[in-house]
Chain A
Amino acid sequence: MTWMLIVDIVSWILILAGSAFTIIGAVGTMRFPDFWSRLHAASVSESAGMLLLITGMCLQSGLTLVTVKLLIIAAFILITGPTSTHAVANAALTSGEKPKSDVIGEGDV
C-alpha cells in the first residue's frame, strides 16, 4: 500500500515542478529584452516543463496504454521542439535580425 503512496507523491512533485518550469519559461518569454534571449526562455518551458509534466503523468497512469501515448507525445515534442526553434532562429538570422552583442564579428553571418 505504501508503494502506491510513494508513486503518488513522486508524481505530484514532478507535476508541480513541471508546471513551475512552464511558468518560468512563459515569464521568461515575456520579460527578456530581445528576440534571441526570448528564444532561450521559450525552450525552457518547452523542454524542461514538458518532460517533468509528462513523466509525472506517466507515473500517475502506471503501465497502461495512456503511458505509451504520453511517451509518444514526449518523443514528438522532443523532436519537433528544437527543430522549430532552430527554424525560427535561422529564419530570423537570415532576414537580418542580428543578436545584440555581435560576438561572432561584424557582418559575417
Chain B
Amino acid sequence: MFLAAAIALFVSMILVLARLYAGPTVYDRVLAVNSFGTLTVLFIAVLGFLNGRPDFLDIAILYALINFVGTIAILKFFRYRTLGDVPQANKNKGRD
C-alpha cells in the first residue's frame, strides 16, 4: 500500500518538475520548487514506512523546515536583489 503511495508521490513530483521547467514566470518556478519540497517530505516519510525505518521521519522534519526557509530566501532575493540587509535604494524598487 505504501508502494502505491510512493509511486503516486513520484508521479506528482515528475509533474511538478515539468511545471518547474516550463513555468513562464519566475514565480511559477518558486511555486514548483516549494511544492516539490513538500512532496519530497512526504516521499521521505512514505519511504521510511516502506523500509521499516522510523528514523527517516527526522530527515523529513528537517527537510520541511529547510524547504520553507529556501522558498522565503529565493523570494527575498528576487524582491530586494540581496539576501543580506536591504540597502535603502532597493527598499521600494519596483513597487512605485
A residues contacting B by CB (< 8 A) are 12, 15-16, 18-20, 22-23, 25-27, 29-30, 35, 38-39, 42, 45-46, 49-50, 53-54, 57, 60-61, 64-66, 69-70, 72-73, 76-77, 80-81, 83-85, 87-88, 91-92, 94-97
Chain B neighbourhood of A54, CB < 8 A: 42, 45
Q: Which residues on A sit within 8 Å (CB–CB) of B13? A: 26
- CB pair A16–B39 under 8 Å, yes or no, is no
> Which residues 31-77 in B have Cβ within 8 Å of A in the complex?
31-32, 34-35, 38-39, 41-42, 45-46, 49, 54, 57-58, 60-61, 64-65, 67-68, 71-72, 75
The dominant DSSP class at the B interface is helix
The count of chain B contact residues (Cβ–Cβ below 8 Å) is 44
Contact yes or no, A84 B1, CB < 8 A: no
Interface contact B39-A22, CB-CB below 8 Å? yes
